[in-house]
Chains A and B, each alone.
Chain A
Amino acid sequence: MTRDEARTILHACHPHQRDANDPLIAEALAFAENDPELRQWFEDSQALDEELARALKAAPIPADLLENVRAGAAARTVSRSRPGRLPLALAASLAFLGILAAVWLAKPPAHAPDSVAALRSDMAEFLSEFPRLDIAADRLPEVRNWLATQHSISEAEFPAALEQFPTIGCRTVEWQNKELALVCFMVEGHVVHFFMIPQGVLPDAGLESAPQYASAGEFNTAAWTADDRVYLALTRADEDFLQQWL
């Protein structure tokens, strides 16, 4: 073993020689015992490593990291249908939706059942359980295709600012015996859930084209109307964040 080899190996030794039982490191340590200059370098190096490890472990992380990781990870836990596995995936989805519907129907409504307030509240509660998506899709053309085939929405309108971000996927959500479309976007590390509510589901919504903001559960929400449809966006980020993209 040369001095340079020993030095390279000793770099892999943690402070307080915690890896001294490793054969390679033990050999390098033994070499350093007979080389005072290398031994001194190693002692200084260990002290420096200890300080660096302490400093790096203390480096701050974003305050809302856990919440964002939970939300994003759950939203991505989607069933990716493959031709050979379609029957099983379909059965699992139907079973899940069946359970979901049973739970849904058993709950007493907290608001007038077909009000915007009820919609905000119900969707916030629904999303808080991290539901699975029907398909994973990271590009808007896939989403538009899904909307056209599953919801007969051939010209889906998204807020222009949202369109620049990747999507996560989509699903159908049953509410008040009607089917709503949900598209999830990943916006600067936050998930924005975008619901499209067809004409007639909320006939007296009292909404305008400008978004109306309100919190619901752990979410901030915005609801508005355009082209006879109602739109609802929800995010765990704050209201200012939501306003930026709508």
Chain B
Amino acid sequence: MTVANLEFDHVISEHYVMLYRFALSLTRQEADALDLTQQAFAIWATKGRQLRDSSKLKSWLCTTLYREFLGKRRRAKRFPHFEIGMVEHDLPVVSPSTANHVDGKAAMAALMDLDEKHRAPLLLFYVEDCSYQEIADILEMPVGTVMSRLARGKEALRKQLFKTQTTNP
């Protein structure tokens, strides 16, 4: 294996789980998420090796993947899009003890039920521990929009979990 291949392999091994989960949060389809993940690494192999600051690699990969996702969506023009309402002031309360009973699959399923514009920031917040500034950089949107989407997304996620719990106590 050449040095270049070793570097390629190392970058994939370090970031593939993170990137796949991010892709899945965007597409909700495993095959599409895998497709985007592969494509992001392939772009890194051809364009990203000049990236001087290795600490920016994660962010670079996420941004690249997100741009690919947007590009594919524009081409396909078949993805339904809907707006959720403004944040409600009196939401059903989900106590911390409720979340103790949520396993990974259920939490991911609840996340996947949300609108894409909320899934991506929430995934980056919860799974990748990204700050709001990092999320804004990756998704290339204003900080205020990120904050608003995090807030609405979290409240929608809690509602979804509450609904799941009351349906399947």
Q: Is the CB of A56 within 8 A of B111?
A: yes
Residue in B1, B42, B111 with the greatest tally of chain A CB atoms within 10 Å: B42
Closest CB of chain B to A88's CB: distance in Å? 14
A227 close to chain B: CB less than 8 A: no
Q: Which residues of chain B have C-beta atoms less than 8 A from A72's C-beta?
A: 34-35, 37-38, 42
Q: Which residues of chain A have C-beta atoms less than 8 A from B30's C-beta?
A: 62, 189
Known: A55-B99, A56-B123, A59-B108. A69 touches B12 (CB 8 A): yes
A236–B1 Cα distance when bound, in Å, is: 19
B100 close to chain A: CB less than 8 A: yes
Q: Which residues of chain B have C-beta atoms less than 8 A from A228's C-beta?
A: none
Residue in A19, A61, A69 with the greatest tally of chain B CB atoms within 10 Å: A69
Known: A69-B37, A73-B45. A14 touches B129 (CB 8 A): yes
Q: Which residues of chain A have C-beta atoms less than 8 A from B84's C-beta?
A: none
A111 close to chain B: CB less than 8 A: no
B166 close to chain A: CB less than 8 A: no
Q: Which residues of chain B have C-beta atoms less than 8 A from A62's C-beta?
A: 30, 34
Closest CB of chain A to B33's CB: distance in Å? 9
Q: Which residues of chain B have C-beta atoms less than 8 A from A68's C-beta?
A: 34, 38
A56–B105 Cα distance when bound, in Å, is: 8
Contact of B38 among A19, A49, A61, A76 (CB under 8 A): A76
Across the interface, name the chain B residue whose C-beta is closest to A71. Answer: B38
A68–B30 Cα distance when bound, in Å, is: 12
